[in-house]
A and B are shown apart, each in its own frame.
Chain A
Amino acid sequence: MEEMLRPSDLDGDRFDRSRRIEWLDLDAISRTRVLMVGAGALGNEVGKDLALSGFRDITVVDMDTVAVSNLSRCLFFKESDATEKRLKAEVVADGVNNLAGTDLAMAVTAKIEEVEADIFLNSDVILGCLDNILARTHVNARSYRAGRLYVDGGMDGFIGRVMVVRPPDGACLQCGMNKSHAKVASLRFSCTGAKTVFHEPRMAAEITTTSVLAAIMVREVVKHASGRDDLLLSNILYYDGMQNRLDELEIPLNPDCLVHRN
């Protein structure tokens, strides 16, 4: 029997429009195991973009609970989540699953430093949606050692940056750090005698910058999953939403960087 062609069938395929992009490999994307560390503002947007891009194996790691102040820039968080002090990783995983219409995201509620290192080896790409330098350096080092692509985002108000770390080649996140990073990191943990004080700065944040950065981050992962590493950001991309500037900069590999020495 001849196959029946129905124009309306084209609208019955969730990814029909994506399939029209020739280089996009949706099968490979659906098989890519994604580890997303951080389920705050960036994590919400990145989770949304991952689900809608066709990723079907996502692990979300975060140790925090939802607060009302998160609601201005977090798609999946509701007021009731804050009232009930729901765990961010679970709320984002639930939101991603609802959006995709299938269970594809799993939540891990823990500090990433306390999660077994195997989680990096069992992932194909790592997305850093973190809010502090110490966690970033940990994820950067673990990803590098596991030989996995690491895409890290950071933002403050209307500015942000995305770095792509591609082991075993080139610089890592830590290669680009200096004394000012160390100073900020040291302020997070200051030992005052027997007690350790944890400093939690309140940083400026708003949704439009978050959306731009998350889109860039997920697009890099889409390229990688589709076998187009030739199109990846070579180093770091700075974004200034106030001045409408987007600059791709080079970070030279630092031979003294601890990540490369080990």
Chain B
Amino acid sequence: MVLLPFRIKVKNAESGATVEMELENDNTIDEVIESAATFWNKEMGAYVVRKGKKVLRGTMVLVDAGVREDDTLELVPDPEGG
């Protein structure tokens, strides 16, 4: 099976900035989080990715998470302080 790359947008929930990301179906949500956090030079911390109202599981591959071409995911910080 040939995996064709596709593009999505990832939005930075804190700044509102958006970046385009080229991915393959077998990329994982964890990889999207790591790439986006690195791109925006995010401080060491926990983040989640949401699609609409749903938080996507880190280990899921994109195709199983229902991520498709032109989707917009949002990188949301998961704050640790108390």
User: Interface residues, chain A, CB within 8 Å of chain B?
Assistant: 38, 40-43, 128-133, 153-156, 159-161, 175-181, 183-184, 187, 201, 203-205, 235-236, 238, 240, 242-243, 247-252, 254, 256
Q: Is the CB of A154 within 8 A of B79?
A: yes
Return the CB mask of B1-40 against A: 1 if under 8 Å, else 0.
0000000000001101000000000000110011001000
For B82, give its contact among A43, A235, A250, A256 (CB under 8 Å). Answer: A43
Contacts of A184 in B (CB 8 A): 44-46, 80
Distance to closest chain B CB from A61 (angstroms): 12
Known: A178-B30, A179-B30, A180-B34. 6 other contacts (CB 8 A): A43-B82, A154-B79, A159-B77, A177-B58, A178-B57, A184-B80
What residue in chain B is nearest A236 (Cβ atoms)? Answer: B55
A-B contacts, 13 listed (Cβ < 8 Å): A131-B82, A132-B80, A153-B82, A154-B78, A156-B45, A156-B79, A156-B80, A156-B81, A180-B46, A183-B44, A184-B80, A204-B81, A249-B50
Q: Is the CB of B47 within 8 A of A159?
A: no
Q: Is the CB of B46 within 8 A of A250?
A: no
Contacts of A249 in B (CB 8 A): 50, 53-55
Q: Is the CB of B53 within 8 A of A178?
A: no
What residue in chain A is nearest B33 (Cβ atoms)? Answer: A180
Q: Is the CB of A133 within 8 A of B53?
A: no
A143 to B62, CA, bound (A): 32
Report the interface size for chain B: residues with CB under 8 A from the other chain.
27
A187 to B47, CA, bound (A): 15
B67 lies within 8 A of chain A by Cβ: no
For B29, give its contact among A129, A178, A256 (CB under 8 Å). Answer: A178
What residue in chain A is nearest B45 (Cβ atoms)? Answer: A184
B76 lies within 8 A of chain A by Cβ: yes
Contacts of A177 in B (CB 8 A): 46, 58, 78
Q: Is the CB of B55 within 8 A of A250?
A: yes
What residue in chain B is nearest A187 (Cβ atoms)? Answer: B44
